[in-house]
């Protein structure tokens, strides 16, 4: 069975390629799949109808959830599969002529169609509640896609969405019901659940089971378009007609009926079942039949007719007696045959005549008698005319309900009368369909109708032929259905054999009550047909009932409005508002919880750490820095104050006994300071507080409350600690496992190396982010070579007023710079003379290489002494920053022949390689090996492989700093120069004058130093 499923999906997956090769004829290839499966199914007959009663297959899927691919092909599933696979194959054959060769997107359409056939087959053979649900939802999604095939049409889009919403809503209810049922039963295997159904219903969890079954039925009635969900089915007629024929007549809507039939042996005795199934079924049958008579579109006549029949089928399948079960499946097959025939005929008429409107069609029968005969057989079968499938099935249905009513209950009589009325309506709309589609109507121009090709007509003709065969020779169907009907058989001794209880399908049962009812149906149905003008007039007087479609639209509209209202109230677009709400919650909830809990403060609180008595002093400095940062109204002052807190915290780290942290923090603070100066040089110096006074109070309150909450939360959290810290093991692990003395560094590169790997990925990402924010296009890894730059051209001041102090200073600095000067740094000559500082260049020349060597030392020594990849990388970055500040952007370019992006990539690759290589050597990811060897000059060397990981970190950090310098430094320099050399009117003038003032004197940072000097 799983092979059959797999073939459906596999062929569906390659269908688009088949269509590219063969055009619409590829439909034939696709039709072969369900056709072959159909043949396979016939061969399974023996096994299914053996004593075992079913063919089962189980494959484990998610053992933890008890979810299995459990399939079970029993007689019910077998009969359903006949319909699904057989009609599926025929409709696919029909599709090959329905669509024109020029139609686009047929590949995708056919793939969905074939996959749908597979999913439907999976749905009926699934023996696991959740597996069945998965197939169930897949049919919903595929149906959405298939209905919406004509996606440029509003009608198709909207009705596809409507069908999706309605059936998904039902599906959700059903999921809840399935889980409740599965949990109550202790198993999700459908056959097992049904086996213990009697004890479940009467057992202690009876109420849960009742709710579960009602919820599952909700899913079934939404899928099968029963009242009150009936409106989506006529809407779905916006689908291409083959889709309507297959999904909305033969297959998908039958899923609900199937579910009812599947559960009926277990639950049909309960009251709620009977009320829902019979009540809603009857209402649907009558509403559908009544509305079918009002339609002028022949496809809609069929659609409402289908709604009516689905109600009818639900009643029969759910009644729960052996004869009703027999009749239900018989009717299901008959309906599939005749309804598919009729839909396919409608498709042919639509394509040949260009309309489906009964007010425009005239004389179609005269143009194509074959089509008329095929349709006539289908319609007659639908109306229940003798010798056809519909008659045989409907006779046994009536028989079952007569039998049901014979117990004399009023309710049973109402059902019987309702069914007879429904049958009369069915007869009437069947006749109306034939008249509307084929008759010659006076006063209407005869429809031009192209001849129908035999290949187009083949599928409906074969279906109608089957209706005849079934009608004349119902014995095989009877044999197929009997085992299912036997499930309902009473085991009482006087009840007789199951077959006796269920009766048989036959053309002639003798003069029975049901035959009389059929005769009555025909008489009244014919009367309604001939009196159709009267009926139409009467119907037009009756006001339109509550329209399900309208209610749906109102519901969705109300939902939209509510969503907009809530969004409008909460989504205010103000970051301040969002943060204030979030932060208020963040302190109110924990503070309340802590006050309510009323736990005493832990005992061991101290202000002065005996091992580090200086902390309060440094701490005071940090707090003062933070407060000054809050008060500062100059941009750089605020930045400096934040730096003060940063350096202060570095000191705190040192006092706490964390040299690595202190080192790293100092390096980071320094580089951040440089980055700030570079990025903010174009922004106005003043930092105005633009938030009003009222808000300031709120901000103070939120800030203070949050700070206090954090203090108390920290005290309580730390006081609650009972276990010994996991890190007590770290020294030993670091030395023995990691082969290093610096525990923090070994933690980073070995014990918690995954963390660090994640971190350097974030660094690479952030670096790329910075570069893309500034460069906009590309990463800017390729910039111009300094050799092409004219001497002294970079950062030249041009907009200086003649005669001003600036001009004088400029003249002096240019005079000095003009004297011959040895190049201390490579690209120093490119800088404008007034930008250069000889001292800075000399110092850079002296310390750059020392810093690089020092960074390498930090990197390699870091395993045993403070340092490591982060500190080393930051030091190297600092060295680059000095080069840039002294020599400008071309100096930076000279200092780094490799682009920042390449560095980031190499670093990540190195770290990744150090993680993957141990895996290839049979170890674990990121496992460390310690290699001890002797080298001539160095002597004994202990090499730990995690150093390679650290080298990766080192390179990534350099890449990050380089990206920051290139973006916030070099690239912004270039923006400045472009602006400065541009004509004055192009300069943006709409900003406040403060900004313009700042831009002039502050340029390349080195320039500022140079000017001061001059």
Q: Tell the smallest beta-carbon distance from residue 264 to other proteins (Å).
A: 37
Q: Which of 326, 485, 655, 895 binds other proteins (CB under 8 A)?
A: 655
Of 528 and 860, which CB lies nearer to other proteins in the complex structure? 860
Near other proteins by CB under 8 A, which window of 41-49, 169-177, 416-424, 756-764? 756-764
Q: Under the criterion CB under 8 A, does residue 652 sit at the interface with other proteins?
A: yes
Q: Tell the smallest beta-carbon distance from residue 369 to other proteins (Å).
A: 23
Q: Under the criterion CB under 8 A, does residue 694 sit at the interface with other proteins?
A: no
Look at residues 315, 324, 312, 474 and name the one whose alpha carbon lies nearest to residue 399: 324
Q: Tell the smallest beta-carbon distance from residue 577 to other proteins (Å).
A: 9
In the region spanning residues 229 to 258, those forming contacts with other proteins, defined by CB under 8 A, are 238, 240-241
In the region spanning residues 403 to 432, those forming contacts with other proteins, defined by CB under 8 A, are none
Near other proteins by CB under 8 A, which window of 45-53, 85-93, 526-534, 677-685? 677-685
- Cα(155)–Cα(238) distance, integer angstroms: 6
Q: Tell the smallest beta-carbon distance from residue 661 to other proteins (Å).
A: 5
Distance of CA 911 to the CA centre of its chain: 33
Near other proteins by CB under 8 A, which window of 167-175, 554-562, 827-835, 939-947? 554-562
Query: What's the maximum distance between 2 C-alpha atoms anywhere in the chain?
Result: 128
Binding-site string for other proteins from residue 801 to residue 840, where x marks contact by CB under 8 A and - marks none: ----------------------------------------
Near other proteins by CB under 8 A, which window of 422-430, 464-472, 764-772, 913-921? 764-772
φ, ψ dihedrals at 574, nearest 5°: -105, 120
| Total residues interacting with other proteins, rule: CB under 8 A | 168
- Cα(243)–Cα(146) distance, integer angstroms: 7
Please write down the HEC assignment for all residues of 332-399.
HHHHHHHHHHHHHHHHHHHHHHCCCECCCCCCHHHHCHHHHHHHHHHHHHHHCCCCCHHHHHHHHHHH
In the region spanning residues 351 to 410, those forming contacts with other proteins, defined by CB under 8 A, are 351, 354-357, 360
Distance of CA 708 to the CA centre of its chain: 41
User: Is the preceding omega at residue 228 within 30 degrees of 0, hence cis?
Assistant: yes
Q: Under the criterion CB under 8 A, does residue 699 sit at the interface with other proteins?
A: yes
Beta strands in 917-981, from DSSP E residues, in sequence order: 930-935, 939-944
Residue 170 sits at the vertex; the CA angle it makes with 165 and 172, to the nearest 5 degrees, is 95
Q: Tell the smallest beta-carbon distance from residue 478 to other proteins (Å).
A: 39
What is the DSSP-derived secondary structure letter of residue 151?
T
- Cα(867)–Cα(249) distance, integer angstroms: 75
Q: Which of 207, 410, 726, 798 binds other proteins (CB under 8 A)?
A: 726
Of 289 and 684, which CB lies nearer to other proteins in the complex structure? 684
Q: Tell the smallest beta-carbon distance from residue 296 to other proteins (Å).
A: 8
In the region spanning residues 904 to 963, those forming contacts with other proteins, defined by CB under 8 A, are 957, 960, 963
Number of neighbouring beta carbons within 10 Å of residue 236: 29
How long is the chain?
1014
Q: Under the criterion CB under 8 A, does residue 995 sit at the interface with other proteins?
A: yes
Of 109 and 273, which CB lies nearer to other proteins in the complex structure? 109
In the region spanning residues 123 to 162, those forming contacts with other proteins, defined by CB under 8 A, are 149-158
Q: Which of 707, 754, 853, 1001 binds other proteins (CB under 8 A)?
A: 707
Q: Under the criterion CB under 8 A, does residue 711 sit at the interface with other proteins?
A: yes
Of 517 and 962, which CB lies nearer to other proteins in the complex structure? 962
In the region spanning residues 169 to 228, those forming contacts with other proteins, defined by CB under 8 A, are none
Q: Tell the smallest beta-carbon distance from residue 113 to other proteins (Å).
A: 14
In the region spanning residues 733 to 752, those forming contacts with other proteins, defined by CB under 8 A, are 734-735, 740-744, 747-748, 751-752
The residues, ordered by sequence, that sit 6+ positions from 999 with a Cβ below 8 Å of its Cβ are 682, 976, 979
The residues, ordered by sequence, that sit 6+ positions from 634 with a Cβ below 8 Å of its Cβ are 685, 686, 687
- Cα(360)–Cα(409) distance, integer angstroms: 48
Is the dihedral angle over the CA atoms 756, 757, 763, 765 positive or is it negative?
negative
Contact in structure between 81 and 120 (CB atoms under 8 Å): no
Q: Tell the smallest beta-carbon distance from residue 543 to other proteins (Å).
A: 20
Q: Tell the smallest beta-carbon distance from residue 672 to other proteins (Å).
A: 6
Q: Tell the smallest beta-carbon distance from residue 929 to other proteins (Å).
A: 19
In the region spanning residues 75 to 114, those forming contacts with other proteins, defined by CB under 8 A, are 99-100, 102-106
Q: Under the criterion CB under 8 A, does residue 674 sit at the interface with other proteins?
A: no
In the region spanning residues 592 to 631, those forming contacts with other proteins, defined by CB under 8 A, are 602, 604-612, 615-616, 619, 622-623, 626-627, 629-630
Q: Under the criterion CB under 8 A, does residue 562 sit at the interface with other proteins?
A: no
Binding-site string for other proteins from residue 850 to residue 889, where x marks contact by CB under 8 A and - marks none: --------------xxx---x---x---------------
Of 363 and 621, which CB lies nearer to other proteins in the complex structure? 621
Contact in structure between 88 and 341 (CB atoms under 8 Å): no
Q: Which of 718, 842, 919, 941 binds other proteins (CB under 8 A)?
A: 718
Q: Tell the smallest beta-carbon distance from residue 460 to other proteins (Å).
A: 17
Q: Which of 409, 729, 791, 1000 binds other proteins (CB under 8 A)?
A: 729
Q: Tell the smallest beta-carbon distance from residue 363 to other proteins (Å).
A: 17
Is the dihedral angle over the CA atoms 242, 244, 249, 255 positive or is it negative?
positive
Near other proteins by CB under 8 A, which window of 220-228, 375-383, 463-471, 965-973? 965-973
Of 395 and 971, which CB lies nearer to other proteins in the complex structure? 971
Q: Which of 44, 57, 191, 656 binds other proteins (CB under 8 A)?
A: 656
CA distances for 921 relative to 718, 752, 924, angstroms: 43, 21, 9
Contact in structure between 385 and 423 (CB atoms under 8 Å): no
Of 597 and 603, which CB lies nearer to other proteins in the complex structure? 603
- Cα(969)–Cα(955) distance, integer angstroms: 20
Up-side HSE of residue 153: CA atoms within 13 Å toward CB?
13
Q: Which of 37, 222, 967, 999 binds other proteins (CB under 8 A)?
A: 967
Up-side HSE of residue 209: CA atoms within 13 Å toward CB?
23
Q: For residue 47, give both structure tokens.
A: 């096994």
Of 710 and 919, which CB lies nearer to other proteins in the complex structure? 710
Look at residues 257, 326, 320 and name the one whose alpha carbon lies nearest to residue 285: 257
Of 106 and 213, which CB lies nearer to other proteins in the complex structure? 106
Of 524 and 998, which CB lies nearer to other proteins in the complex structure? 998
Contact in structure between 872 and 856 (CB atoms under 8 Å): yes
Please write down the HEC assignment for all residues of 474-526.
CHHHHHHHHHHHHCCCCCCHHHCCHHHHHCCCCCCCCCCHHHHHHHHHHHHHH
- Cα(26)–Cα(12) distance, integer angstroms: 11
Contact in structure between 323 and 485 (CB atoms under 8 Å): yes
Number of neighbouring beta carbons within 10 Å of residue 296: 14
- Cα(806)–Cα(253) distance, integer angstroms: 86
Q: Which of 275, 373, 556, 987 binds other proteins (CB under 8 A)?
A: 556
3-state SS assignment for residue 800 = coil
Q: Are strands 67-73 and 55-62 parallel, antiparallel or unpaired?
A: antiparallel
- Cα(1014)–Cα(808) distance, integer angstroms: 10
Of 468 and 683, which CB lies nearer to other proteins in the complex structure? 683
Q: Tell the smallest beta-carbon distance from residue 642 to other proteins (Å).
A: 5
Binding-site string for other proteins from residue 292 to residue 331, where x marks contact by CB under 8 A and - marks none: -----x----------------------------------
């Amino acid at each position: 069975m799983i092979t059959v499923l797999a073939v459906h999906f596999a062929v569906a997956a390659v269908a688009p390629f088949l269509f590219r090769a063969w055009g619409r004829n590829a439909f034939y290839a696709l039709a072969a799949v369900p056709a072959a499966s159909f043949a396979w199914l016939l061969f399974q007959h023996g096994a299914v109808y053996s004593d075992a009663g079913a063919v089962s297959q189980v494959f484990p899927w998610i053992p933890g959830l008890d979810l299995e691919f459990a399939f079970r092909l029993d007689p019910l599933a077998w009969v359903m599969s006949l319909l699904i696979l057989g009609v599926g194959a025929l409709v696919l054959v029909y599709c090959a002529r329905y669509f024109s060769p020029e139609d686009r997107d047929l590949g995708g359409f056919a793939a969905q169609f074939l996959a749908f056939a597979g999913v439907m087959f999976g749905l009926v053979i699934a023996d696991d509640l959740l597996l069945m649900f998965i197939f169930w939802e897949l049919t919903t999604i595929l149906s959405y896609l298939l209905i919406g095939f004509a996606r440029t049409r509003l009608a198709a889009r909207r009705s596809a969405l409507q069908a999706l919403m309605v059936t998904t809503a039902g599906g959700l209810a059903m999921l809840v019901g399935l889980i409740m049922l599965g949990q109550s039963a202790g198993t999700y295997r459908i056959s097992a659940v049904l086996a213990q159904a009697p004890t479940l219903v009467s057992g202690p969890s009876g109420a849960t089971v009742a709710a579960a079954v009602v919820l599952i039925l909700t899913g079934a009635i939404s899928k099968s378009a029963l009242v009150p969900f009936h409106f989506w089915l006529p809407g779905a007629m916006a689908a291409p007609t083959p889709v309507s024929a297959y999904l909305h007549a033969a297959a998908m809507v039958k899923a609900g009926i199937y579910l009812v039939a599947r559960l009926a042996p277990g639950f049909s005795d309960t009251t709620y079942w009977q009320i829902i199934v019979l009540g809603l079924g009857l209402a649907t049958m009558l509403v559908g039949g009544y509305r079918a008579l009002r339609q002028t579109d022949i496809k809609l006549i069929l659609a409402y007719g289908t709604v009516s029949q689905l109600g009818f089928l639900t009643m029969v399948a759910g009644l729960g007696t052996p004869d009703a079960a027999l009749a239900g499946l018989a009717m299901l097959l008959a309906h599939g045959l005749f309804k598919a025939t009729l839909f396919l005929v409608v498709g042919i008429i639509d394509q040949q005549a260009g309309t489906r409107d009964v007010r425009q069609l005239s004389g179609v029968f005269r143009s194509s008698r074959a089509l008329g005969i095929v349709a006539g057989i289908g319609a007659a079968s639908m109306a229940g005319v003798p010798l056809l499938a519909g008659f045989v099935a409907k006779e046994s249905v009536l028989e079952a309900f007569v039998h049901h009513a014979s117990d004399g209950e009023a309710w049973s009589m109402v059902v019987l009368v309702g069914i007879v009325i429904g049958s009369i309506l069915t007869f009437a709309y069947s006749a109306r369909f034939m008249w509307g589609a084929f008759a010659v109507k006076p006063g209407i121009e005869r429809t031009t109708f192209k001849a129908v090709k035999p290949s187009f007509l083949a599928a409906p003709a074969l279906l109608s032929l089957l209706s005849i065969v079934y009608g004349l020779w119902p014995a095989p169907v009877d044999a197929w259905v009997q085992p299912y009907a036997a499930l309902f058989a009473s085991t009482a001794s006087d009840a007789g054999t199951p077959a006796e209880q269920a009766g048989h399908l036959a053309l002639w049962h003798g003069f029975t009550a049901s035959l009389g009812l059929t005769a009555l149906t025909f008489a009244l149905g014919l009367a309604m047909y001939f009196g159709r003008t009267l009926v139409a007039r009467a119907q037009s007087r009756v006001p339109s009932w509550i329209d399900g479609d309208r209610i749906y639209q109102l519901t969705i509209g109300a939902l939209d409005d509510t969503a907009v209202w809530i969004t409008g109230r909460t989504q205010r677009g103000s970051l301040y508002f969002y943060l204030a709400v979030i932060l208020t919650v963040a302190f109110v909830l924990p503070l309340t919880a802590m006050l309510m809990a009323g736990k005493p403060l832990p005992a061991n609180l101290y202000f002065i750490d005996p091992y580090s008595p200086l902390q309060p002093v440094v701490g005071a400095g940090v707090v003062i820095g933070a407060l000054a940062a809050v008060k500062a109204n100059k941009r750089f002052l605020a930045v400096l104050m934040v730096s003060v807190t940063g350096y202060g915290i570095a000191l705190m780290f040192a006092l706490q006994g964390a040299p690595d942290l202190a080192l790293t923090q100092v390096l980071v603070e320094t580089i951040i300071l440089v980055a700030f100066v570079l990025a903010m040089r174009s922004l106005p110096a003043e930092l105005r507080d633009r938030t009003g006074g009222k808000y300031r109070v709120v901000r103070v309150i939120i800030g203070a409350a949050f700070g206090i909450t954090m203090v108390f939360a920290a005290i309580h959290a730390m006081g609650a600690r009972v276990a010994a810290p996991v890190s007590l093991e770290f020294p030993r692990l670091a030395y023995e496992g990691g082969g290093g003395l610096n525990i923090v560094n070994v933690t980073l590169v070995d014990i918690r190396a995954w963390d660090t790997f994640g971190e350097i990925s974030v660094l690479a990402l952030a670096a790329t982010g910075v570069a893309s924010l500034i460069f906009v296009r590309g990463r800017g890894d390729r910039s111009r070579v300094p050799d092409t730059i004219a001497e002294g051209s970079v950062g030249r001041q041009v907009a200086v007023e003649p005669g001003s102090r600036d001009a004088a200073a400029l003249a002096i600095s240019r005079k000095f710079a003009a004297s011959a000067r040895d190049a201390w740094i490579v690209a120093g000559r490119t800088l404008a003379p007034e930008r250069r500082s000889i001292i800075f260049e000399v110092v850079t020349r002296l310390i750059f290489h020392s810093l690089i060597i020092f960074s390498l030392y930090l990197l390699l020594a870091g395993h045993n002494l403070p340092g490591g990849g982060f500190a080393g990388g930051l030091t190297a970055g600092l060295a680059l920053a000095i080069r840039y500040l002294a020599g400008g952007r071309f100096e930076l370019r000279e200092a780094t022949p490799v682009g920042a992006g390449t560095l980031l990539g190499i670093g990540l690759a190195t770290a990744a390689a150090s993680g993957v290589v141990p895996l290839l050597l049979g170890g674990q990811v990121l496992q460390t090996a310690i290699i001890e060897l002797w080298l001539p000059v160095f002597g004994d060397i202990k090499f730990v492989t995690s150093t390679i990981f650290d080298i990766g970190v080192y390179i990534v950090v350099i890449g990050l700093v380089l990206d920051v310098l290139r973006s916030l430094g070099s690239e912004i320099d270039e923006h400045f120069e472009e602006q400065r050399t541009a004509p004055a009117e192009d300069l943006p003038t709409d900003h406040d004058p403060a900004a313009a003032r700042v831009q002039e004197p502050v340029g390349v940072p080195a320039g500022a130093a140079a000017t001061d000097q001059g």
